[in-house]
């Protein structure tokens, strides 16, 4: 059996959530459009959990993290995705991109 490399694959699909999927997508980003990420949106911890408890809906935090992991060069978009609000208000601790 011949050893295969990523270059031999037509498409790669990665499924998951949290920080793990973001790391996998980042590692495989050289595949470009041959890479598909399926992000679970059921997280209920941290900042996302606070939003889901108060507003309902899906967990945007994992999706935000995965998109940001695919940004290969430092940019304004990347910095905006990672920005967290400070202070004691309703947005305190939430990411701008969530």
How many domains are there within the chain?
1
Beta strands 12-16; 35-39: pairing state: parallel
Q: Is residue 88 part of a domain?
A: no
Q: Which of 22-26, 29-33, 50-54, 66-70 has the lowest mean pLDDT?
A: 50-54
pLDDT at 1 over 70: no
Q: Is residue 98 part of a domain?
A: no
What tens digit of pLDDT does each residue of 35-90 get? 999 998 877 777 777 777 887 778 788 888 888 888 878 888 888 888 888 888 87
- pLDDT confidence of residue 59: 78
- pLDDT confidence of residue 98: 64
Burial 41-72 (b: 16+ CB within 10 A, else e): eebeeebbebbbeeeeeebbbbbbbbbbbeee
Give, in order, the Cα–Cα distances in Å from 7 to each of 12, 29, 34, 55. 10, 12, 10, 43
pLDDT at 15 over 80: yes
Q: Is residue 91 part of a domain?
A: no
Structural domain boundaries enclosing 64: 6-82
Q: Is residue 96 part of a domain?
A: no
């Amino acid at each position: 059996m011949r050893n295969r490399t990523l270059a031999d694959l037509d498409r790669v699909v990665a499924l998951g959530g949290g920080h793990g999927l973001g790391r996998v997508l980042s590692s495989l980003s050289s595949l470009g459009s041959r890479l598909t990420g399926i992000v679970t949106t059921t997280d209920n911890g941290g900042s996302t959990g606070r939003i889901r408890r108060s507003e309902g809906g899906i967990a945007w935090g994992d999706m935000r993290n995965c998109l940001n992991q695919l940004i290969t060069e430092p940019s304004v978009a990347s910095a905006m995705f990672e920005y967290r609000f400070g202070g004691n208000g309703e947005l305190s601790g939430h990411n701008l991109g969530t």
